[in-house]
Structure 1
């Protein structure tokens, strides 16, 4: 089994979600349930969380004094809205599970490297 990080992004995610009608919000909830069921049937759901708006983020920058800036590390129209950590047999299974997430989101799937030590 391999752990994967799934990062969900959508353009103007937070404003779009707040403006979504009940039918869309219900469908998105159903998609999340289908995703969770599929992951648990093939592997394990390690963690999953929705994130707060990007303006609440702080970024610790590189440098000797480690300056802190307000906001996310990258300014972009796409906003990171949530993340999942799943444990699956392989990338193909992780991709198949990610495809069950709501169609409005782009989902980056990245294997988690196991640190030695």
Structure 2
């Protein structure tokens, strides 16, 4: 099964900029633990960190499909990155997500695996 794992955190980018070397290494250790567990049981299909929300552009619904600056939703939490993983079960995906840095709110959502 494929799962999208979204990592969000209030003030994510400012917190990362303020983080010292020890904090960053702790986060990288968590990412490595997540990656190792997923690769042991399945695979990472994609994943990346994102630029700050101000760099986003959103295509709005409607006949004109207007483009606006910024992310699609106004929220305190900032989407900092994502993974697309393939694991046998939802429980495996949740177990892996628990290995990510504890500062993040993690959303794990199964995909429909629609071929595009």
TM-score range, shorter chain: over 0.9
Structure 1: state its 5+ residue gaps.
Answer: none
SS of alignment partner, residue 44 of structure 2: strand
Q: Whole-Å Cα distance in 1 between the matches of residues 66 and 10 of structure 2? A: 28
1:60 aligns with 2:54: no
* Alignment: residue pair count: 116
2:68 is aligned to 69
SS of alignment partner, residue 34 of structure 1: helix
Q: Whole-Å Cα distance in 1 between the matches of residues 45 and 6 of structure 2? A: 14
2:14 is aligned to 15
1:98 is aligned to 97
SS of alignment partner, residue 26 of structure 1: helix
What TM-score, normalized by structure 2, do the two folds share? 0.97
1:24-62 CA distance string (max 9 Å, x none):
001000110010000000111111100000000000000
Deviation at 1:116, TM superposition (A): 6.7
CA RMSD of aligned residues (A): 1.1
2:88 is aligned to 89
What TM-score, normalized by structure 1, do the two folds share? 0.96
Matches within 5 A, 1:18-37: 18-37=17-36
1:112 aligns with 2:74: no
After superposition, the Cα gap between the structure-2 partners of 1:63 and 1:95, relative to the gap in structure 1 and judged at 3 Å, is same
Q: Whole-Å Cα distance in 2 between the matches of residues 4 and 10 of structure 1? A: 19
1:40 aligns with 2:39: yes
Deviation at 1:115, TM superposition (A): 2.4
Structure 2: state its 5+ residue gaps.
Answer: none
Q: Which runs of 4+ in 1 moved over 3 A?
A: none
